[in-house]
Amino acid sequence: MHVRGVDPRDTTWEHDDATYRVYFWDRSAQASDEYEVTDADVEDVLTWARTKAEETGSAYTLYVSVTDQGKPGLIRLSGAQGDPFA
């Protein structure tokens, strides 16, 4: 991990309402369940994802949904990196 101080004036926008995607990976069936979560804070989404993963015995990946140059994409926030079946 690398930490450095930043100038808060180096950004041009911010968005307070995020859309999250949570993927739950069932490794035995090599399948996943995907969910979109809105109107929630990241801590609430993390708590929900961890609880559901524990209850179902699956791994999870939490992403924030973003748009870059008009194209949708995902940024990983927590959990398994990449598609565990790839």
Do the Cβ atoms of 52 and 36 come closer than 8 Å?
Answer: no
Take residue 70 and report the two structure tokens written for it: 């008009």
pTM: 0.86
pLDDT tens track for 2-38:
999 999 999 988 888 999 999 999 888 888 999 999 9
Helices (H), the chain: 42-56
- Give me the sign of the Cα torsion angle 44, 54, 21, 6: positive
pLDDT tens track for 29-77:
888 999 999 999 999 999 999 999 999 999 999 999 999 899 999 999 9
